[in-house]
Amino acid sequence: AKYTEPYRPQYHFSPAKYWTNDPAGLVYHDGTYHLYFQYNAGGIEWGNMSWGHATSPDLTHWDEQPMALLARGFPGNLTEMFFTGSAVADVNNTGGFGSDGKVPLVALYTSYYPTAQTLPSGKVVRKEQQSQSIAYSLDEGMTWTTHDSANPIIQDPPTPYEKQFSNFRDPFVFRHEESQKWVLVTALAEIHKLLIWTSDNLRDWTVASEFGPVNAVGGVWECPNLFPLAVDNSPAKSKWVLVIGLNPGGPPGTVGSGTQYLIGEFNGTTFVPDDDSVYPGNKTANWMDYGPDYYAAASYNGLPAEQRVQIGWMNNWQYGAKIPTSPWRGAMASPRRLSLKTIGQKTVLLQQPHENLKTIRSERAKHYSWDSLPAGSKDLGSAGKQLDLELSFADDRTSKATQFGIMVQTTSDLTQQTRIGYDFHARQMFVDRRKSGNTTFDDTFASEYRAPLAPGQDGRVHLRILVDWSSLEVFGGDGESTLTAQIFPDLSATHAGLFSSGGSTEDITLDVWEMSSIWK
């Protein structure tokens, strides 16, 4: 359906109505990308957690589907909520859920039991317990059956972590071909530990190792993901990436939730981070995104290794329930392609918008170039609210400017403006949303965010910026730094303009594409 509400993302996924948080169960099967998501079946704040569902042929156009898992007892008498999890296509039917030759999609998710109860499986669970359960689908992910005769299949955390039974969640499952096993990663959220499990049949799991705490531990650890990526596009050489959500305790300068990752080796049972991926004293971390609004990042199962794609929830637990949107709350960030590149001695994670996003760009870009722009600002007129921008300029360390960048979704009098720029001295990119529009719903919202960014080999700074009605995603350089932030500007804030502060900026090129809406 066509969406016309104020702030409604026009090319990012959001549900027609009600609350969403984490993407979950991301699986590609038979030509369809499935996006399940944490969903309140009856409200615009967190609650009644169910699995919503959307499908896409190309990771760009989405169709919202009927709910996949509805909170048990909804409405009014909840006995089980369906928290975050993951899904695989069990093509060899190792779990035995397939029938009539149909490939089962199998989801592992966290069961949250609000009340103590005896389950159909005969298992007795405690009030507010979190356990891991199975559901499967025999109709291409459209309807799901919970495996009630056995659920939960992992009831309690193992010794010596039994006390963590109400902070035990977010199973991420994947196939490890080398060992011919299924691997599952779960979080012991409060104590900053992950458990790694293995299985032959998706039902019976054995603890293989544990990981953590390392690096950022400012809040609970949630939503782990673990996957291999080729280094420098060489299939012969790959490393593993471990992604961990943190709430609160996100990147410096943000308040609330954020996402960190580690790069290392995984042998089917144990993850060992590279020395240069770990920082002693839990002082810092590798930040997946330096902005305030990128959380619970999850990646697709079912794609070839070189096509790893990740989707994050474009919101923050600090103010998630207060953002001024209606009748929905929460949207997903653009699907990102991940890769690893060696820069100097270090393996660095790169993120790029999925290439299919280019299919909804206007046919031709508005192309601009300037040899030099003097200190001040330059109005580019009304550019709209759905944009894909590529901006580049020189940084040879002789710049007289202190900052250069672009303002988007500004009103013509500039009273509302969001600044995306580069600080020549600090070599950082930044997003400044202090005057971005409605910022008053939360005290911490009106703020500026920074990420490290060096010019490329060509001596130029490159920024790719995705602008939608209520969001920005900035990809710096080759994608070694990203910065995602929500904004809530007025309807009339459609202008764009450049700014150079403290002096002139040289050799600027700018391409501006309008993006078409994915909602028809």
From 487, 466, 462, 463, select the one nearest 387 (Cα to Cα). 466
Q: Which of 64, 90, 170, 468 binds ligand FRU (CB under 6 A)?
A: 170
**CA 155, 211, 252, 258: dihedral to nearest 10 degrees?**
-30
Q: Applying CB under 6 A, which of residues 26, 35, 49, 105 lies at the interface with ligand FRU?
A: 49
Q: Does residue 154 interact with ligand FRU by CB under 6 A?
A: no
Q: How many residues bind ligand FRU (CB under 6 A)?
A: 12
Residue 260 CB, nearest distance to ligand FRU (Å)? 14
Q: Minimum distance from CB of 169 to ligand FRU (Å)?
A: 5
- Regarding 84 and contact with ligand FRU (CB under 6 A), the answer is yes
Helix (H) / strand (E) element for 131: namely: strand 129-137
| Rounded Cα–Cα distance for residues 50 and 119 (Å) | 18
Q: Is the separation of the CB atoms in 69 and 368 below 8 Å? A: no
Q: Is 21 in the site for ligand FRU (CB under 6 A)?
A: yes
Q: State the Cα–Cα distance between residues 98 and 94, nearest whole angstrom.
A: 9
169 sits near ligand FRU (criterion: CB under 6 A): yes
Distance CA 285, CA 216 (A): 5
Residue 20 touches ligand FRU, criterion: CB under 6 A: no
110 belongs to the binding site for ligand FRU (CB under 6 A): yes
Which residues, numbered 334-393, are part of the site for ligand FRU (CB under 6 A)? none
Of 369 and 444, which has the nearer Cβ to ligand FRU?
444
Q: State which residue, 222 or 395, has the beta carbon closest to ligand FRU.
A: 222
DSSP assignment of 469-516, as one string? TTEEEEEETTTTEEEEEE----TT--EEEEEEESS-EEEEEEEEEEBP
50 pairs with which residues across the strands? Answer: 39
If one asks whether residue 97 binds ligand FRU (CB under 6 A), the answer comes out as: no
Distance CA 203, CA 194 (A): 19
For the question of residue 22 being annotated catalytic, the response is yes
Taking CB under 6 A as the criterion, the residue among 64, 80, 90, 222 binding ligand FRU is 222
- Interaction between residue 329 and ligand FRU (CB under 6 A): no
The beta strands (E) that lie in 232-375 are given as 234-247, 258-266, 271-273, 286-287, 295-299, 309-313, 328-329, 336-343, 346-353, 366-373
**62, 74, 83, 469: residue in contact with ligand FRU (rule CB under 6 A):** 83
| Contact code string over 270-299 relative to ligand FRU, x by CB under 6 A | --------------------------x---
Tell me the two tokens of residue 42.
């009856």
Q: Which is nearer to ligand FRU, 256 or 421 (CB)?
A: 256
Amino acid in position 314: M
> What is the spatial distance between Cα 148 and Cα 120, in angstroms, rounded to a whole number?
6
135 binds ligand FRU per the rule CB under 6 A: no
User: Given 22, 170, 388, 395, which residue is catalytic?
Assistant: 22
By beta-carbon proximity to ligand FRU, the closer residue of 3 and 165 is 165
User: For residues 83 and 144, which CB has a smaller minimum distance to ligand FRU in the complex?
Assistant: 83
Complex with ligand FRU: residue 11 or 112, whichever CB lies closer: 112
38 binds ligand FRU (CB under 6 A): yes
Alpha-carbon distance of 450 to 292, in angstroms, equals 10
Told to check if 506 binds ligand FRU by CB under 6 A, we report no
In eight-state DSSP terms, residue 321 is G
242 touches 226 (CB < 8 A): yes
Taking the complex as a whole, the smallest distance from the CB of residue 116 to ligand FRU amounts, in Å, to 20
Residues with a catalytic annotation lie at 22
Residues lying near ligand FRU in the complex (CB under 6 A): 21-22, 38, 49, 83-84, 110, 169-170, 222-223, 296
